[in-house]
Structure 1
Amino acid sequence: MFLYITLGTNDLARATRFYDPVMGTLGLSRLRTLEDEIGYAAPGDTRCRLWVTRPFDGRPATVGNGSMPALVAASRDAVDAFHRAALAHGGTDEGAPGLRPFGPSFYACYVRDPDGNKLSAVCEGPPAR
């Protein structure tokens, strides 16, 4: 459904220090580095699906109240790693990893990046054996 998602930042260097390790826990890596934005892609994808950017209009980035991209995690361990990496790199906790009432295997965590953007990592698969 979505081609890509864009999140605003007021400090691209700080955002890079956050997003590089956090996206890495989900197998995503920075594919593009431009003057005002960075883009992340899955292995083998030539198109960035997540962009972090200074706003085009030059005004400060603000948080979208009620906005939250939920990123696919391959395992519950990846959700846990995402949460740990986010907190270790300047993010804040918005909900520790755990099962949620959105489905029998909906395992998720919620964090905010250093700019206040809310993110989630979700695994809908069964626990590892």
Structure 2
Amino acid sequence: MLLGISLGTNDLSRAGAFYDRLLGTVGMVRTMEEDDEIGYGSPGGPSCFWILKPFDQQPATRGNGTQVTFKAADNDGVEEFYRTALVLGGVDEGTPGYRYRPRYFGAYCRDLDGNKLHVMYEPD
């Protein structure tokens, strides 16, 4: 069972400001903070997503083929996540729209360190 995922950053305070606002669009909040990492999760819940300065003290790099997916509450939430990422300095990797299946709505972007993010909504 997967407990969570971490992405590296070269500027923790800048990445924290980015993710504080971005993850707020999908209902996530900062749940913990240490010198070299920040955790996010549901309000009052445990951390499940972390941004961190690499333990080996080498520069953080993005993974080719790595992607983190977040679930929005609805299609508007997908669009808000995507717009927020771009306003905060993220980069477009695929505008919001229907993909894969008739009711799957998603968008793609990259964070300030080049990590690929996907946000989606598909009704149950």
Where does residue 36 of structure 2 map in the other structure? 36
Q: Which runs of 4+ in 1 moved over 4 A?
A: none
**Which residue in 2 is equivalent to 1:51?**
50
Taking the TM superposition and a 5 Å limit, the aligned residue runs for 1:1-129 are 1-45=1-45, 47-101=46-100, 103-125=101-123
Once residues 43 and 97 of structure 2 are traced to their aligned partners in structure 1, the CA distance between those partners, rounded to angstroms, is 27
Q: Deviations over 1:74-104 (max 9, x none)?
A: 1111100000110111101000111012x22
User: Take 2:75 and 2:44, find their aligned partners in 1: how far apart are those partners?
Assistant: 23
User: What letter corresponds to residue 116 of structure 2 in structure 1?
Assistant: K
- Residue 51 of structure 1 and its aligned partner are, at CA, apart by 0.2
SS in 1 for 2:79: helix
Task: Report the residue type matching 2:103 in the other structure.
Answer: S
TM-score by length of 2: 0.96
Give the TM-score, by structure 1 length. Answer: 0.92
Deviation at 1:43? 2.6
Displacement, 1:29?
0.4
Paired with 1:80 and 1:86, the residues of 2 have a C-alpha distance of: 10
Which ranges in structure 2 are unaligned for 5 or more consecutive residues?
none
Deviation at 1:24, TM superposition (A): 0.2
Deviations 1:3-36 (A, max 9, x none): 0100000000110111010000000000111111
Gaps of 5+ in 1: none
Question: 3-state SS of the aligned residue for 1:71?
Answer: strand
In 2, distance between residues paired with 1:32 and 1:89? 22
Supply the AA of the counterpart residue of 1:7: L
